[in-house]
Amino acid sequence: METFYSHGKLLISSEYAVLDGAIALALPTKFGQSLDVESNSDNTIHWKSISNSGNVWFEAEFIIDTTLKISSKNTSNIAVRLVQVLEALQQLNPTLFEAHKGYTLTTTLEFPENWGLGSSSTLINNLAQWAQVDAFKLLELTFGGSGFDIACAQQDTGILYQLDKEKPTVKSVDFSPPFLDALFFVHRNQKQNSRDGIRSYKTLTANQSLDFSELNSLTLDLLNCSDLKNFESLIEQHERYISTLIQQPPLKEALFSDYKGAIKSLGAWGGDFFLATGDPSSIEYFKSKGYKTILPFSEMIL
């Protein structure tokens, strides 16, 4: 049996704008996803997906016929999507299924799917490792997106990520400011579909000339900041910038106007985790408002 593993991700800066060449700061998480692969001889792919609680939440069989076409009697949206992914794998590596042998593929998540840490990107990166293909190309053929999540899946440190002429550039960085104990992540109790957010952003910016020099400077300042008050000021500037870009109010303004610390949306606005600054009493503030999933930086980030 072969086992592959990929880290989850959190996008700290340049959400949305990373799609159009802005520099983004992103961090791999301690939570990820594994893929176990075993060969069989029945021309069938037996697929099993296991949740972080150990339950099998999806199971299906995919048939590899003599023309190497992949099909399934399971017509669920997940099965249909997986057929597309497997066909993309075959497109990138035509020899993957040529022996007409089958496989048992078992995926295991380490985080609840609604956390938004990259259940799709970690899957894509694991499958790419197994098939020995370019994970960024596999992402492009399947789910799409900027690819920062694929880069995080492959890294053990923070990264600066940028699309340069649509090609990913990845630089490893050390994000470890002296105030890490004052940073924590709060889950919104809902998941945001990033593809919906991307479509909305693309519609809004379709006819704009985009210059991200100011945003890039904010990203580098966030990375290099050593003072909490300055970091909070940078967060607020960044929130205002993205708010104007996507024409949505900043999260703190919309829901937490009485909060004393700073709050920053992460990834697609409207769901998943957000970053907050504060102390232990701040955690009680969010709990009192019904937000029970709160992780300190040290528990979330690799």
| Same domain (yes/no): 56, 89 | yes
| Same domain (yes/no): 80, 219 | no
| Same domain (yes/no): 12, 52 | yes
Whole-angstrom distance, CA of residue 9 vs CA of residue 190: 17
| Same domain (yes/no): 167, 47 | yes
| Same domain (yes/no): 111, 19 | yes
Instruction: Count structural domains, the chain.
Output: 2
Residue of 21, 17, 29 whose CA lies nearest to 149: 29
| Same domain (yes/no): 49, 138 | yes
**Pick from 137, 152, 172: which residue ends a domain?**
172
Retrieve residue 291's tokens. 């937000």
pLDDT over 80 (residue 208): no
pTM summary value: 0.93
Q: What is the CATH number of the domain that holds 243?
A: 3.30.70.890
**Pick from 172, 200, 225: which residue ends a domain?**
172
pLDDT in tens, 142-195: 999 999 999 999 999 999 999 998 899 999 999 999 999 999 999 998 766 666
Instruction: Tell me what pLDDT residue 100 has.
Output: 65
**Pick from 122, 157, 172: which residue ends a domain?**
172
Residue 103 burial (CB count, 10 A): 21
| Same domain (yes/no): 186, 87 | no
| Same domain (yes/no): 164, 244 | no
Residue 182 burial (CB count, 10 A): 19
| Same domain (yes/no): 36, 167 | yes
| Same domain (yes/no): 154, 211 | no
pLDDT band at 271 (very low <50, low <70, confident <90, very high): confident
| Same domain (yes/no): 193, 122 | no
Residue 241 burial (CB count, 10 A): 18
pLDDT in tens, 93-147: 999 988 768 999 999 999 999 999 999 999 999 999 999 999 999 999 999 999 9
- Residue 194 lies in domain: 176-300
Instruction: Tell me what pLDDT residue 192 has.
Output: 65
Instruction: Tell me what pLDDT residue 65 has.
Output: 85
Q: What is the mean pLDDT of residues 199-205?
A: 74
Residue 128 burial (CB count, 10 A): 25
Q: What is the CATH number of the domain that holds 39?
A: 3.30.230.10
| Same domain (yes/no): 201, 242 | yes
